Amino acid sequence: MTATGRKQLVFFAALWIVAFFLNFFWESLHGLLFVDHPAMEAASYVPMMLEMASYDAVAVLGLYLFVALVFRSLLRENTVSHTALFFLVAIIAAAVGEYAAVQILHAWAYLPSMPTVSGIGLLPLMQLAVTGVASIFVAGKLSSVNAD
C-alpha cells in the first residue's frame, strides 16, 4: 500500500470512528429533549442511540466526500472555504432530514424544552455540522492530513 493509500485509510477510519463517538455523545444528550426518550429503558435507549450515531457517522463521511468532490481533493488542506461549505451542506442536510422526519413522517417529536427554528430542533439542526467539522479536524490530525 502506498503512503497516500495508508493516509486515506487512516483518515477515513478515524473520521468514521470520531464521528461515531461524537454523535453518540450528542445523540445521548439531546435525546432527552424528544418525546418518549426520557422514559425509555436503557436496554432500548442505548441501542437506538448507537444506531443513530452510526447513521450520523455515515452522513459525515458522505458530506465529506461531497465536499471533496466539489473541491476535487480527497485529502484536502485545512481552508476556510472547505470548512464553510461542509458546515453549510451539513446544516442543509440536517434541516431537510429533520423537517421530513418531524413534519412529514411524524417519526419523532420534540419536548417543549427543545429550542426550535421554524419547527426544526436547534440541536439536531446543528449536530452534523458541529460534529462533522470536529471529526474532520481530529481525523486530519490523527492521519497527519491537515484536513478541515
Looking at the chain, the whole-number percentage of residues with pLDDT higher than 70 is 97
- Judge if pTM exceeds 0.85: yes
Q: Which domain holds residue 121?
A: 3-142
Q: How many CB atoms lie within 10 A of CB 6?
A: 12
Sorting pLDDT into bands at 50, 70 and 90, what band is 3?
confident
Q: Is residue 81 part of a domain?
A: yes
Q: Is residue 148 part of a domain?
A: no
Q: Is residue 126 part of a domain?
A: yes
Q: Is residue 147 part of a domain?
A: no
Q: Is residue 27 part of a domain?
A: yes
pLDDT, average across residues 81-105: 97
Q: Is residue 96 part of a domain?
A: yes
Domains identified in the chain, total number: 1
Q: Is residue 64 part of a domain?
A: yes
**In angstroms, rounded to a whole number, what is the distance separating the alpha carbons of residues 90 and 88?**
5
The more confidently predicted of residues 52 and 144 is 52
**In angstroms, rounded to a whole number, what is the distance separating the alpha carbons of residues 59 and 82?**
17
Q: Is residue 122 part of a domain?
A: yes
